[in-house]
């Protein structure tokens, strides 16, 4: 065992100057701890600066790595974009629906006025080898003169009020449901146009003006108009789309 009685010798062992820190020298009769035990204690305590890193982690990141805090309000998710997209889609469908309805109703009323002026009280006109006949007729019933023999009040409710309610219901469904594709939108527009064309006739004249008859030989349809033709086209479009969906 080494005994250290010289203060200068003790400072040389620890590698520290008297100006940096004070060295507590052992009293006479006491021995210094072995050099290996001090290393073991330092290893057990951990690497140098470990405590500093732990304290720094609690206090926060280093000033050099800290991100600057942006001033101002926090950005909110832009939900208005979804609303604008839905509104634009609704406007497109409304424009398509309105254009088809206005065009079909105008064509229906124009052809009915021409039939009233040039066909009423005259013999039928045959076209394309009697495939098409133009003959004026007033229909108090429904599609293709269905229900023409019913009493007047029943016809008014069945073909007037109920038809108007059905047209309004189809219009509301077309406006509220944005999942309709283009084919469905066209079909719905044709349904509305055909219903509106015949409702105008019932409100103004009490009957529906018909002038078209199609057939070959003895097989012929009833007398109808452009509004009935438009409604038939809408039904065919819906059936075609349903058949395509099932075939996929």
Q: Look up 228 and say whether it is catalytic.
A: yes
| Contact between residue 222 and residue 145 where contact means Cβ atoms under 8 Å apart | yes
Show Cβ contacts of residue 164 under 8 Å, excluding neighbours closer than 6 positions.
Answer: 195, 199
Closest alpha carbon to 119 in 103, 138, 106: 138
- Candidate list 20, 149, 181, 228, residue with the active-site label: 228
Task: Flag whether pLDDT at 214 surpasses 70.
Answer: yes
DSSP annotation string for 46-76: -STTHHHHHHHHHH-S-TTTPPPPPPSPPPP
Distance CA 123, CA 75 (A): 76
How do residues 9-31 score in pLDDT, each as one tens digit? 544 444 444 444 454 545 555 55
Distance CA 60, CA 172 (A): 60
Q: Look up 201 and say whether it is catalytic.
A: no
Out of 19-23, 48-52, 79-83, pick the least confident. Answer: 19-23
| Contact between residue 185 and residue 96 where contact means Cβ atoms under 8 Å apart | yes
pTM of the model: 0.60
How do residues 107-163 score in pLDDT, each as one tens digit? 999 999 999 999 998 999 999 988 999 999 998 877 656 666 777 667 767 777 777
How do residues 92-103 score in pLDDT, each as one tens digit? 777 888 899 999
């Amino acid at each position: 065992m080494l005994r250290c009685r010289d203060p200068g010798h003790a400072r040389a062992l620890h590698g520290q100057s008297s100006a940096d820190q004070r060295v507590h020298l052992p009293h006479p009769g006491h021995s210094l701890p072995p050099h290996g035990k001090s290393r073991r204690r330092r290893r057990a305590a951990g690497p140098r600066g470990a405590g500093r890193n732990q304290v720094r982690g609690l206090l926060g990141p280093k000033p050099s790595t800290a991100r600057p805090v942006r001033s101002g309000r926090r950005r909110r998710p832009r939900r208005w974009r979804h609303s604008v997209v839905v509104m634009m889609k609704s406007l497109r469908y409304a424009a398509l629906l309105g254009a088809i309805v206005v065009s079909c109703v105008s064509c229906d009323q124009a052809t009915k006025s021409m039939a009233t002026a040039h066909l009423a009280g005259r013999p039928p006109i045959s076209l394309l080898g009697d495939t098409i006949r133009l003959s004026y007729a007033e229909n108090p019933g429904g599609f293709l003169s269905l229900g023409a023999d019913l009493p007047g009040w029943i016809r008014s409710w069945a073909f007037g009020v109920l038809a108007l309610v059905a047209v309004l219901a189809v219009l509301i469904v077309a406006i509220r449901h944005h999942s309709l594709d283009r084919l469905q939108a066209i079909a719905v527009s044709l349904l509305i146009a055909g219903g509106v064309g015949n409702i105008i006739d019932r409100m103004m004249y009490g009957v529906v003006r018909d002038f078209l008859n199609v057939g070959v030989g003895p097989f012929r349809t009833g007398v109808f108009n452009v509004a009935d033709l438009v409604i038939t086209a809408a039904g065919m479009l819906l059936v075609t789309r349903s058949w395509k969906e099932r075939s996929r």
